[in-house]
Structure 1
Amino acid sequence: MSLVTVPLVLKAGEFYDVKITVGEIEHPNENEHFIQWIEFYIGDVYLARFDFAPVMTKPDVTIPLKLGHHGLDSTLRVLSHCNLHGLWEGKFQLKTE
């Protein structure tokens, strides 16, 4: 599962850095076992995908996020894919003011 670091309440129209880290402990990153990619969504809206190679990259991502609506709860969804264990999803509720 992914860990996400972001303020729980965001001001609409302002950018905030969202940090995504795969696993509560560091995920293996070797040729035989590694994170292949991370996808990033707000609700069902696709925002970005990050692809990783084993050994030479680390499956940690920081991306600037700006929500444009006021007073609505948004679900931040992070999908990651491990070459051995398949698909993992994390969901995090964000609020804008």
Structure 2
Amino acid sequence: MSKITELYQTADWKNEKHVPAITAPEKVKGDELFDVEVSVGKEVAHPNTMEHHIEWIKLYYLAKDSDKAVEIADARFSAHGEGDAYTEPKLKASVKLNKCGKLISTSYCNIHGLWTSEVDITVEA
């Protein structure tokens, strides 16, 4: 049996429609709010149909020298054409950090499974 970490797929989000693309500043000031957006299908559109869609996106923060990630945000997408309603797979959050680390995102496609990406973030005094 596989470990859950072995089930996550990665790729360049500019060429792959399933990878959660994290948009955040590379450097932020400690204890000041900044915006983070995570989207699936940023460059290559992902289908949003009953048969093929993104069900959720999660955003985590892993502080430098830590082995425990903190869940920052979670978005579920429920409308994939029912009653002519659609939700696009985008998550937005305002975040405040006090330590350098990584922002890590995961997403789930109902056909192609689990996907992940990460970006480093520098926190300045």
1:20 alignment partner, one of 34, 38, 46: 38
Residue 50 of structure 1, CA deviation = 0.7
Residue 93 of structure 1, CA deviation = 0.5
Q: 2:26 matched to 1:8?
A: yes
1:41 alignment partner, one of 60, 64, 85: 60
Q: For 1:92 and 1:63, how far apart are their aligned partners in 2?
A: 15
TM norm structure 2: 0.71
Q: For 1:48 and 1:6, how far apart are their aligned partners in 2?
A: 14
Q: 2:113 matched to 1:86?
A: yes
Task: Decide which structure has greater helix share.
Answer: 2
Q: For 1:66 and 1:6, how far apart are their aligned partners in 2?
A: 12
Q: Which runs of 5 or more structure 2 residues have no equivalent in the other structure?
A: 1-18, 63-68
Structure with the greater alpha carbon radius of gyration: 2
Moved beyond 2 Å, runs of 4+:
none
Percent identical among aligned pairs is: 36
Q: 2:92 matched to 1:62?
A: yes
- Is the contact made by 2:73 and 2:93 (CA closer than 8 Å) also made in structure 1? no
Q: Which runs of 5 or more structure 1 residues have no equivalent in the other structure?
A: none
Q: State the one-letter code of the partner of 1:59.
A: P
Q: Deviations over 1:22-44 (max 9, x none)?
A: 13312111100000000110021
Q: How many residues align?
A: 94
Q: For 1:26 and 1:9, how far apart are their aligned partners in 2?
A: 28
Q: For 1:67 and 1:3, how far apart are their aligned partners in 2?
A: 20
Q: Secondary structure at the match of 1:28?
A: coil
TM norm structure 1: 0.90
Aligned CA RMSD, in angstroms, stands at 1.1
